[in-house]
Amino acid sequence: MVNPPVEDHLHGATAANELGNVDETRKRLWKAHQLREDRQVIEWLWTIDTGYGQVELAVDQGREGLIIDDPPFEPVARMAIGNAQAKLDDEGTYTGLLPLGDYQLGAASFAVAGQAWRPVKVDVRSEPTRGWFKRR
């Protein structure tokens, strides 16, 4: 098996970032960092780690809107929220990173804080499944 070079991981991170896929951006940056220490990569990872928090959300598919009280100005952060909403609409669950802030999902309010060790879990389904998430 051939491991892609650092540059390929960085190109992938840039592409994922332009699509607002912060989770994939971070994964690719981490792979690049493991291959070669680079100040810009470390700073980019730090920016993600201090500007986003991990969440696990579950809704009745297509029924609940994800609202942030104070929408971010940065386009990537706005796209990240939109991507999370699209996944909730399509699949009813979203596990990943969201920009820091106070959110509303259905009747539930929650806060996403940086550097959290555990994800914020919010389940507003009318009939929660066994376990935390229903695997599709």
Going residue by residue through the chain, which has 136 residues, state the pLDDT in tens, using 9 for 90 and above. 777 889 999 999 999 999 999 999 999 999 999 999 999 999 999 999 999 999 999 999 777 899 999 999 999 999 999 999 999 999 999 999 999 999 999 889 999 987 667 899 999 998 766 555 544 3
What residue ranges do the domains of the chain occupy? 6-50, 53-123
Q: How far is CA 96 from the centre of its chain?
A: 3
pLDDT value at position 126?
Answer: 86
pLDDT value at position 136?
Answer: 39
Task: Give the Cα-Cα-Cα angle 9, 100, 15 (nearest 5 degrees).
Answer: 20
Task: Give the Cα-Cα-Cα angle 47, 51, 57 (nearest 5 degrees).
Answer: 135
| Neighbour-count burial for 57-80, b at 16+ CB within 10 Å, e otherwise | bbbeeeebebebeeebeeebbebb
Q: Are 95 and 55 in contact (CB under 8 A)?
A: yes
Give CA–CA dist 57/93, Å, rounded: 5
pLDDT value at position 135?
Answer: 43
